[in-house]
Structure 1
Amino acid sequence: MTHAMPGVGTSSPGDVAAAAHPAPRPPDARGKRSVAASFTSASILVRWLVIAGCSLAAFWPSVVRTVDDLRGGDFLGYVLVMPFLAGVAAIGIARRRADELPIHDRQIDSLVGGIALAVSVAVQWLLLPRYEEQFSLLRIDLLSWLLFVVGAAVLLFGLRPVGRFWPVWLMLVLIAPLPYRMVVVMLGGQSQHVSVVVTVLAATATAIAVGRTRQRGVIGAAATIAVGLAVLLLIWFVFPDAPRPVLQFVPAAVAAVTVGIGMYLQYGYYFTDRRAAYSVAPQRPTAVRTGLVRSGLVVVAVAFVLSLIPLPDPPATVIADGPPGAAAQLVVPDGWTQENAEEFDWADRFFGRRAILTRQTIVADEGNPDWDSKSRPRRVVIDTLDTHRPATLTVYPTDTLYRLEDARRSPTVPVDLGHGVQGELSTIVDEQALLTWSLLSFTWTRGDVSQRVNLVTVDDHRPDAIFPRPTPSMASDVTNTFNVLIRGNAVTVDDNSEYKDRDMLGVVGAQLVDAQWKADEA
């Protein structure tokens, strides 16, 4: 008995025609088709193994850097889940038999695949050095990796088979690290928010996989979100001590697999020929069979070139060992008086749970003619950031604490602050406020806390001088990214800085560091 369901077709026009006019079948036709299918499956597997091996060889430093960032508390681990979600979406598309002609124009395949590989090399070679300081935030190397995989797939499989999976490629391109971080930060920046975002990504992959019709796609996405949130709540309340990766990624994986398999079984149930309904074997050749050796050699050669292009070095910031006890506010050194203290409530969205950002405004007890021609007491603001996720300090460099859309920064100058602490001094010209401010920053570990301290002065020495305020700056990061892309690094670099407050910040920084050690020993 044949089951039927509205909106679900159990046969195609081709099946009806074949049933009405059955074609004569040679006795060994079934065996030939089996051999052809086996050959196709083995051929596809070998090609994907070539692509995977070349990808790992070319981008192994990217894998190592990603793993190191995850160990430091960064929440970029979604990139490790995306291949799994892409596979879920691709399986669903592969099961839909598209009515496409088995035509392979190898000239077009070579042209498109070659362009993708060339762009991959260009991104790695030209853009990475331009965004050296923003490397951990943007992770442009992952875009280069994706372009390499697309180009290699076009060369080894052909443009038509690869183009059939365009929703998967589009999903991978749009889910870049920068927009992903922006969404997570807007939600709150915690592990459960990462889980929600990854669950939405899983819903997108499931919708692509089961979306034979628009209705099925919407149902699949909604069901994935519902199951993912249910699993998240279960882990959150029943297993509160579960490791962070479990909380972040298990709900999305469980939801995608459960809903995908459920809708896969539901769809095949309404077919008489269950074996045909559940089959995932290709019904026609899905890849080219000519020029593979040449294409494979091109892929290997490009992978070798990419492996020679190094990633930007991690920040050269010296992380010193500070005194064990970390407090919300630093001890003010002798000769200075604290005027004001303020705590910001947005730091945990960027730097993880329990991150604290405080600002202390201190003023010198007496004026110093070497620091001000009128011997006015100088003011310094101290911005102290405490975090348990040190990798976030690399993702968001020192000056990203402030909103800097039209600013130029000088090269950093090392400053010895004593006790093994080395500071980095730079000046920033703020074109909007028409001010130049100096920034001395140092980083140390105090027990299990990583602490970044910024000492800021401005060239306006009046008591009502305006200091830059720590402000969430993802929007300015996006603006600066496009400015650097279009106009180059020159728009963000000040090569003519005078470092006017270098002596003063060196003295204050050394006094501040020494005061923390004395307070800990007391």
Structure 2
Amino acid sequence: MTPRTSAVAESTARGVLLLTLVVLAFWSTWGRVADETAVGAGSAVVLAPPLGGLLTVSALAWRRRPELPIHDRQSDAIVGTVVLLIALMSQWLLVPRYAGAYVLLHVDVMAAWAYLLGCCIFAFGLRRTGRFWATWLVLAVASPGAMRLVMYLLGGGPWAEAAVVATVVFAGPVVVIVRGVRRGRPSARVQWAGPAVTARQAWRSVPLLLVVGVALWLAPLPGGAETRLGHGPSGPAGPGQNVPAGWTERSVQDFQWAPRMFGPSATLYRQLLRADAPRADWDQLMRPRQAVVQTLTVSDPGQLDVYPLEMTYDLTNARVGDPEPVDLGHGITGRYRTVVDDDRLLTWSLLTFTWTRSSDHVQRVSVLTVDDHEYDAEFPETVHVAGSTFGRMLSLLLRGSASVTASGPQDKDLAMLTELGTNLVEAQWQTQ
């Protein structure tokens, strides 16, 4: 076996080992991506960056240029350890912190690329790994959250998804090839460098990479909305809900931008209801209460995980309480939460449930009340991927979950929403 053939075989063995480690360390992640794709969450876009990175690696290898014989194993150890720590912190700290936006952001996928980068630095050396800068740039820039945002800005739908995937897959190789053509032929005065990291040095790093891989494998992942999906009436679903007895529909609003976020057939409908008669247990001043019923109808249940309910309201300076289960009858379980709006100095209560409607529709229904009981009370506006979402995520990163979480029990409208939610569910069955 020639020295060149031996070097190629050794590099191939290291590469196969590292890819195996990444697959096994993030086995749960790849399983979740497959499950999300099956239920229509569009998570197949997560596969575009590794495919683009693979093509970029091929382009860089084809345009191989000479390297200076400079190498520092101590630098490899320092930088590689820092990158592995970033992967661990992302998986154990950021994934739970952004549990509500797990499918949208898929921070664990970015942790997988960080783990792969750290492994490559230990196995091949910092300088040799840096030769493939364009590959790491593709993996870093084309994050799941960034790709979904671009898809939304392009109007959503399959054409936007295809355009984003094609750009991610082919942008890196094209840049590498064009850059190589402009730079011309390599200089003959610089000799090709041998293996930057010897086989002994590389394989001595394997135990550390295994330990980190096991720690990543043990990290739990958040649950999905499909685990809370109930079975609703089997009849055809309208854009909104049938109004239960004792309530009157004051106004309706149909949001035309819903297909951009939730798919071409999605609808988002908002109904303002007002009680026909006041009740002392709902308001001591005997004012008729009001509530907003918001219905999101999609064809694929996975879309409910991509953009959770919190992203359809402006929660820039709001704190959301922990969910409390509520039995609404017919096997439907709702989730009651309170939101403290520090901007408006208001507290609003939210009851949410998800269910299947007919054989090809899924609905997320939310019933909302505010502690302002006046006739002209303002309810939180329904918004789409707004700056409030970015501000909320930045606050989570810098200040922790306490900055967006309401503490202490807030059960002001629990009884009212439980009754209204139960009657709302019953009203849908009565019309079947």
User: Which residue does the alignment assign to 2:259?
Assistant: 348
Match of 1:250 in 2: none
1:14 alignment partner in structure 2: none
CA RMSD for the aligned pairs?
Answer: 2.1
Unaligned runs of 5+ in 2: 186-190
Letter in 1 for 2:206: G
2:418 counterpart of 1:506: yes
Match of 2:363 in 1: 451
Quote the residue 1:464 is aligned against: 376
Task: Tell me how far apart the structure 2 counterparts of residues 296 and 498 of structure 1 sit (CA, whole Å).
Answer: 51
Q: In the alignment, is the contact (CA less than 8 A) between 1:357 and 1:385 conserved in 2?
A: yes
**Aligned equivalent of 1:126, options 75, 93, 98:** 93
Structure 1 segment 478-497 matched on structure 2, within 5 A: 478-497=390-409
TM-score normalised by L of structure 2:
0.94
Structure 1 position 283, deviation (Å) = 5.9
Deviations 1:237-266 (A, max 9, x none): xxxxxxxxxxxxxxxxxxxxxxxxxxxxxx
- Describe the SS at the equivalent of 2:127: helix
Task: Output the CA distance in 2 between the equivalents of 1:103 and 1:516.
Answer: 72
2: CA distance, partners of 1:328 / 1:160: 58
The equivalences for 1:365-380 within 5 A come to 365-380=276-291
Question: Does 1:423 find its partner at 2:334?
Answer: yes
Tell me the equivalent position of 2:218. Answer: 308
Q: Which residue of 2 aligns with 1:241?
A: none
User: Does structure 2 retain, via aligned residues, the 8 Å contact 1:359–1:381?
Assistant: yes
Deviates more, 1:144-153 or 1:323-332: 323-332
Distance 2:50 2:101 in 1: 24
Residue 13 of structure 2 is aligned to residue 46 of structure 1? yes
Q: Secondary structure at the match of 1:211?
A: helix
Looking at structure 2, the residues matched to 214 and 178 of structure 1 have their Cα atoms a distance apart, in angstroms, of 33
Displacement after TM superposition at 1:328 (Å)? 1.6
Match for 1:503: what amino acid?
A
- What is the rounded CA distance, in whole Å, between the counterparts of 2:31 and 2:64 in structure 1? 39
Amino acid at match of 1:464: D
Aligned to 2:155: 188
Structure 1 residues 133-180: Cα deviation after superposition (integer angstroms, max 9, x where no partner): 222222111121111101111111111110111122122111112221
Match 1:288 to one of 194, 197, 215: 197
Cα separation, 2, equivalents of 1:425 and 1:437? 11
- For the 8 Å contact 2:41–2:305, the answer to whether it is kept is no
Q: Out of 455, 476, 485, which is 2:388 matched to?
A: 476
- Is the counterpart of residue 318 in structure 1 residue 228 in structure 2? yes
Query: Does the residue aligned with 1:148 lie in a helix, a strand or coil?
Result: helix
TM superposition shift of 1:512: 0.7
Note if contact 1:96-1:212 (Cα within 8 Å) is conserved in structure 2: no
Alignment counterpart, residue 26 of structure 2, candidates 47, 59, 64: 59
Aligned counterparts, 1:138-287, within 5 A: 138-213=105-180, 284-287=193-196
- Give the distance between the partners of 1:317 and 1:82, measured in 2 at CA: 29
Deviation (angstroms), 1:188: 1.3
* TM-aligned CA deviation for residue 54 of structure 1: 0.8
Give secondary structure in 1 for the equivalent of 2:431.
helix
The offset of 1:313, in angstroms, is 3.2
Is the CA contact (8 Å cut-off) linking 1:92 and 1:208 kept in structure 2?
Answer: no
Amino acid at match of 1:303: G
Matched, 1:381 2:348: no
Shift of 1:317: 5.7
- Superposed displacement of residue 109, structure 1: 1.5
Residue 395, structure 1, aligned to residue 327, structure 2: no
Taking structure 1 as reference, are residues 214 and 334 closer, same or farther at Cα in structure 2, changes over 3 Å only? farther
CA distance in 1 between counterparts of 2:121 and 2:95 reads 25
Q: Distance in 1 between matches of 2:219 and 2:418?
A: 38
How far the C-alpha of 1:286 sits from its partner, in A, is 4.3
